[in-house]
């Protein structure tokens, strides 16, 4: 994707593509994936992607499937191609033969409350404990945790301001009392270390002017889970899944959970009803209400 397009002699397709992704506030991870998929397609095509036809896109999908590419990877490629041809080239007509692959969505990994406690206790520093506590206590994505600034902690309204979440959406997340106490303790420690500033990042990286990176948050979560003796595959998103599931089990309305998580669609949040075991156990089966077998068992015991 290094060719020059007719939209501007000094602007390459890649540059325009990146500009459009920034304009639509796509996350850094999504931009990386889209660039990777478009580069892969351009290499397969053997000529500049702005010269592709709808039949080229169709054949590419077929060949990708025949190579055994999984459904999630194929759907990511479709999203990248659609964005490029619809947004960057304004050629929506080329995307009519692009189709997403249906596949069953795997149930999220959820920790028990006892496992979450063990995991938070197994962290090696107050900074790491605060990072994971924010992920669980407010249900934030790892990328949202990394972008928090000190001023985003609103102790008066007991909220965390999440700016530019997924899809560029802003929202308020809940700020628990215990989480506020922990963050205040981290503020004191961070000030003593010279890395915390009123206008700075809540979780600075190796340099205080830069936030902690996404991969580092994943490493912190994985190491804490391992130290806690948890054998499940755990990342920071596992804590977000656990946050939503535990709220649902406590009887919080699914639409409120949707707002707290920043989900655009209710069906995304409704997925947690399939893993909320306490909710399932609290439901009385209509068969139990008949009382047929319990009455028969009582008679036989008598």
Which residues are the active-site residues?
Answer: 141, 166, 237, 240, 263, 272
Residue 213 has what DSSP assignment? P
Distance CA 124, CA 228 (A): 11
Distance CA 23, CA 18 (A): 8
Residue found by looking up tokens 């055994």 in the block: 68
121 Cβ neighbours under 8 A, 6+ residues apart: 228
Strand partners, 160: 153, 173
Distance CA 258, CA 264 (A): 8
With beta carbons less than 8 A apart as the criterion, state whether 210 and 200 touch.
no
With beta carbons less than 8 A apart as the criterion, state whether 196 and 185 touch.
no
With beta carbons less than 8 A apart as the criterion, state whether 162 and 175 touch.
no
Give the DSSP per-residue string, 131-188.
HHHHHHHS---HHHHHT-BGGGEETTTTEEEE-S-GGG--EEEE--HHHHHHHHHHHH
- Tokens at 276, concatenated: 């909320």
Q: At 233, phi and psi to the nearest 5?
A: -80, 110
Please compute Rg for the chain using Cα positions: 24
């Amino acid at each position: 994707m290094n060719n020059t397009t007719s939209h501007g002699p000094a602007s390459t397709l890649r540059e325009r593509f990146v500009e459009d992704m920034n304009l639509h506030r796509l996350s850094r991870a999504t931009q990386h994936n889209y660039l990777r998929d478009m580069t892969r397609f351009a290499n397969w095509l053997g000529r500049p992607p702005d010269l592709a036809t709808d039949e080229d896109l169709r054949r590419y999908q077929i060949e990708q499937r025949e190579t055994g590419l999984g459904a999630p990877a194929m759907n990511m490629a479709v999203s990248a191609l659609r964005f490029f041809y619809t947004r960057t080239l304004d050629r929506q007509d080329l995307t009519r033969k692009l189709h997403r692959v249906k596949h069953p969505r795997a149930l999220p990994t959820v920790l028990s409350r006892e496992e979450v406690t063990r995991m938070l206790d197994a962290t090696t520093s107050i900074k790491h404990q605060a990072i994971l506590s924010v992920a669980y206590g407010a249900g934030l994505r790892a990328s949202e945790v990394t972008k928090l600034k000190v001023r985003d902690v609103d102790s008066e309204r007991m909220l965390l301001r999440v700016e530019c979440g997924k899809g560029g959406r802003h929202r308020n997340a809940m700020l628990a009392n215990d989480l506020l106490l922990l963050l205040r303790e981290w503020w004191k420690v961070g000030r003593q270390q010279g890395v915390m500033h009123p206008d700075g990042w809540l979780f600075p990286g190796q340099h205080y002017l830069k936030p902690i990176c996404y991969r580092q948050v994943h490493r912190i979560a994985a190491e804490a889970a391992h130290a806690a003796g948890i054998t499940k595959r755990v990342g920071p998103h596992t804590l977000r899944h656990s946050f939503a599931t535990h709220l649902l089990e406590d009887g919080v309305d699914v639409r409120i959970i949707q707002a707290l998580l920043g989900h655009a669609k209710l069906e995304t949040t409704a997925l947690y009803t399939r893993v909320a075991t306490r909710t399932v156990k609290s439901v009385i089966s209509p068969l139990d209400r008949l009382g047929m077998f319990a009455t028969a068992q009582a008679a036989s015991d008598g």
